[in-house]
Amino acid sequence: IERRKISEVSPEMHNAEISKRLGKRWKTLSDEERQPYIEEAERLRVLHMQ
């Protein structure tokens, strides 16, 4: 979701640069702020395993 937002705002930005920015942002998030992303990743992992 965040990657898509960045791509829409800056379509010329390379994927590697987007990954760097998202990584920096992830490091600034608290555990509470990270939780929805972790839960969604787990949901998608389970869905993929079916």
pTM: 0.73
The single-letter code of the amino acid at 1 is: I
CB 18 within 8 A of CB 1: no
CATH class of 2-49: mainly alpha
The domains of the chain are located at 2-49
Closest CA to 20 of 2, 39, 34, 36: 2
pLDDT (tens place) for every residue of the chain, 50 residues total? 899 999 999 999 999 999 999 999 999 999 999 999 999 999 999 999 98
CB 33 within 8 A of CB 27: no
CB 9 within 8 A of CB 24: no
